[in-house]
């Protein structure tokens, strides 16, 4: 039980700092204080996130325990269908996103890119779901046989993703206004083709 408490605290702290360090309030403050040096922030943030994530992940995986939830019978096929969908979300996200910008490399080597207003990405997988990587993580943490440590991790990371999605979309609405509201009305957050969202053709007409 003490191990589960430690795991829960570790994940909670990791998720808190990951979210807090990229809020518009914090990044705007840093941009004002750091000036031209702010172009290194995204890269530094990604390195910090990786360094803090790895030990928590390794601690989670080191915990042995009884399996309490099993995907068996017909659900075994459902599980692997979901994992296939997660793979599509991951690959589709990599194709749609600007990888250099996401990693922070473009900002470092092309400082002028920090002054360019970003555009809404509505291509590829983003025509079907708004947050393909978040959707993939949700599948990956749930579509497995779960121990108590796995279940705790799945619950915390799911809460982190839902809260993060809410905060991120507030930022996107502030940035893009009605354009993003229209996109959100027509494309589901995590589950493709979910009613009452519009069809692919309706989304394509927004491009």
pLDDT tens, residue by residue, 11-70: 999 999 999 888 888 888 888 888 888 888 888 888 999 999 999 999 999 998 899 999
Q: Which of 203, 167, 200, 160 is nearest to 184 (CA)?
A: 203
The whole-number pLDDT of residue 36 equals 82
pLDDT at 65: 86
Judge whether residue 98 has pLDDT over 80.
Answer: no
Percent above pLDDT 90 for the chain: 54
Both tokens of residue 72? 């068996």
Rounded Cα–Cα distance for residues 135 and 149 (Å): 21
Domain range for 99: 2-204
Number of domains in the chain: 1
For the residues 111-126, what does the mean pLDDT come to?
Answer: 70
Q: Collapse the DSSP code of 101 into the 3-class scheme (helix H, G, I; strand E, B; otherwise coil) and give the result.
A: helix
Q: Is the pLDDT of residue 134 over 70?
A: yes
> What are the angstrom distances between the C-alpha of 44 and each of 18, 22, 56, 122, 160?
12, 11, 19, 28, 21
Whether the per-residue pLDDT at 152 is higher than 70: the answer is yes
> Does residue 176 register a pLDDT over 70?
yes
DSSP state of 64: -
Q: What is the pLDDT of residue 13?
A: 96
């Amino acid at each position: 039980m003490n191990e589960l408490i430690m795991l829960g605290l570790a994940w909670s702290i990791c998720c808190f700092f990951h979210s807090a360090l990229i809020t518009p309030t914090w990044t705007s403050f840093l941009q004002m204080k750091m000036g031209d040096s702010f172009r290194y922030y995204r890269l530094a943030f990604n390195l910090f996130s990786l360094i803090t994530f790895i030990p928590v992940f390794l601690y989670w995986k080191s915990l042995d325990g009884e399996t309490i939830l099993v995907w068996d019978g017909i659900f075994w096929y459902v599980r692997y269908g979901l994992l296939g969908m997660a793979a599509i979300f991951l690959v589709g996200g990599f194709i749609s996103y600007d990888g250099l910008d996401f990693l922070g490399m473009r900002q470092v080597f092309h400082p002028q890119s920090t002054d360019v207003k970003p555009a809404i990405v509505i291509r590829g997988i983003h025509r079907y779901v708004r947050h393909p990587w978040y959707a993939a993580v949700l599948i990956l943490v749930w579509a497995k046989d779960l121990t108590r440590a796995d279940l705790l991790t799945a619950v915390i990371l799911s809460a982190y993703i839902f809260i993060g999605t809410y905060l991120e979309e507030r930022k996107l609405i502030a940035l893009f206004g009605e354009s993003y509201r229209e996109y959100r009305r027509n494309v589901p957050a995590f589950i493709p083709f979910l009613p009452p969202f519009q069809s692919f053709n309706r989304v394509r007409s927004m491009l």
